[in-house]
Amino acid sequence: MKRMWRHRAVNSRNGARIGVHTTGLPSGEPILLLSSLLADWRSWNDVAGRLPSGVYAITMDLRGHGTSSPSAGDYSLAELAADVLNVMDNLAFARVHLVGTSVGSMVAQYLGATAGHRLISLTLVAAGSLVPEPAWPIWDKRVAAVRSGGLITQVPIVYPAWFSGAVDQGLLDLAESMILATTVAGFTGAVAAIKGHDARSLLPQVETPTLVIAGANDAAVPPEAVRATAALIPGAAFEVVTGAAHQVAMQHPVAFADRLCRHIAGAPR
């Protein structure tokens, strides 16, 4: 089912304006979807169309991504998590089903441990529990490339990481559009948050019903790393989507939505 989206902006800390996009009836049960680095609300369009009609779907763009303005300097996961709670408060939702992919999953992990009372369920996608220090130079190199050559430098890096096998040209066009809509400050600020990610001591504190999803062909966060994340969360379920790489929901929305809908339906209210 095709969804019609409504768009607004919410003021957040440090002068940032966070782009918020909603579809469905506001009286419906809220599900908040957090995107990856270099992606925005459009990455959830095909999944939103497969959610039950009684669900109110909300997406919000990271600072400096999509329709959100950037703020200066490095971002932290605590700061990005505060943006999520601020959006929830602005929309007057005490609790939501929270879904996050990649860096969105890092923010969701932080919230699962520190603000579990605001969550009905938690779904983590392409979710590692740690970005190890030996990986930091890779991120530093990407930041340097963006500062010198712009966001277009990330397109040939992102395509093989995000998708696996035959990919529809429309999906590739969407990916490029989202990458180029990202600001330099948004990319570099979010990379700082990524480099600071270490949730190993936080995840055992998560009490929210949690589903952790891996793409079978994800080279960025391999299934074994995602399984290790799930093992740190009490009672978490773990599933692998065959044929998927990093952007599970974008390339395999049917398989993803099926798993997500079963998970949220079973969560205690």
> pLDDT of 70-95, one tens digit each?
999 999 999 999 999 999 999 999 99
Residue given tokens 């700061």 in the structure block = 79
What is residue 14's predicted lDDT score, i.e. its pLDDT? Answer: 80
Averages of pLDDT over runs of 10 residues in the chain (269 residues) are 89 91 95 98 96 94 98 96 97 98 98 98 98 97 98 97 96 98 98 98 98 98 98 98 98 98 95
Segment holding 112, helix H or strand E: helix 103-114
Q: CB neighbours (10 Å) of residue 265?
A: 9
Residue ranges per structural domain of the chain: 6-266
What is residue 24's predicted lDDT score, i.e. its pLDDT? Answer: 94
Enumerate helices (H) and strands (E) in the chain, giving the number of each: 10, 8
Torsion of Cα atoms, 107 then 61 then 256 then 2, to 10°: 160
Residues 214, 239: contact at Cβ < 8 Å?
yes
CA atoms within 13 A on the CB side of 229: 32
CA quadruple 267, 243, 134, 158: dihedral positive or negative?
negative
- Global pTM? 0.97
Q: What CA–CA distance (Å, rounded) separates 28 from 162?
A: 31
Q: Tell me the per-residue pLDDT of 165-212, one tens digit each, with 9 for 90 and over.
A: 999 999 999 999 999 999 999 999 999 999 999 999 999 999 999 999
Q: What CA–CA distance (Å, rounded) separates 142 from 128?
A: 19
Q: Indicate the class that CATH gives domain 6-266.
A: alpha beta
In angstroms, how far is the first alpha carbon of the chain from the final one? 26
What is residue 1's predicted lDDT score, i.e. its pLDDT? Answer: 64
